[in-house]
Amino acid sequence: MKITITDDDAIVVASLKTILEMTGEVTVLATGNNGKDAVALFEAHQPEIVLIDIQMPVMTGLEAAEMIITKNPTAKVLFLTTFADDDYIYKALSIGAKGYILKQDFDNILPALKAVYSGQNVFGTDIVARLTSLRTTGETLDYDAFDLTEKEQNVILLVAEGFNNKEISEKLHLSAGTVRNYLSSILVKLNLRDRTQLAIWYYQNK
């Protein structure tokens, strides 16, 4: 897979480039050290994945990712950072990032890249726990206002809890195709792009 790496720590960039390319599964097209670099590198190289830090000078990773995804909705951005702040996680998800993992989980970087490359969303265990903690204990969500059926409500809940389509199909005793159809219908009704935005919608409205 072809990627770009952007991080304001030159040692981190060099280490990641060396280690990932040694696997024989990753080609690092170019590297940068701030968000402005990340945007320029994407335009110049069209990488399959943008691996990017969050806190950087000139332009943050979040700002860069938003610019990239807004202009290129199919772009795959994977955040690699030391920060597990709720605000960062929330913003990363809301702009459409495909993953958010911590640098401390170094062994999971390659698997995360491979998962994102194959079309999955990837969030480290700590990040999933943080996302779950964003749930509030307010009034029950009014699904009827969105014309969502009971089955669709069940799918939304399981998506928000991090289950994939296969797991959802097993839990609800539905075929994988039926789950995909429910998910497509839900996204249309709520005018959302993907399951990540759906999870955010759930926690925002719950």
Which residue, chain included where needed, has tokens 């060099």? 14
Q: According to the model, what pLDDT value does residue 134 have?
A: 54
The mean predicted confidence, pLDDT, of the chain is: 86
Tell me the two tokens of residue 167: 């797991």
Residues 6+ apart with CB under 8 A from 19: none
Q: According to the model, what pLDDT value does residue 62 have?
A: 94
Q: According to the model, what pLDDT value does residue 102 have?
A: 86
pTM of the predicted protein model: 0.69
Amino acid at 25: E
Q: According to the model, what pLDDT value does residue 145 have?
A: 76
Classified by CATH at the fold level, domain 2-133 comes out as Rossmann fold (3.40.50)
- Under DSSP, the state recorded for 140 is P
**For 109-128, what is each residue's pLDDT tens digit?**
999 999 899 888 887 656 66
How far apart CA 52 and CA 25 sit, in angstroms, is: 18
Strand ranges across the sheet with 122-123: 27-32, 2-6, 49-52, 77-81, 99-102, 122-123
How far apart CA 16 and CA 150 sit, in angstroms, is: 46
Exposure letters 106-138 (e unless 16+ CB within 10 A, then b): eebbeebbbbbbeeebbbbeebeebbeebeeee
Parse the chain into domains and list their residue ranges.
2-133, 143-205
CATH of domain 143-205: 1.10.10.10
Residues 6+ apart with CB under 8 A from 168: 155, 158, 159, 174, 179
**For 128-183, what is each residue's pLDDT tens digit?**
656 655 554 444 566 777 888 889 989 998 888 778 889 999 989 999 899 999 99
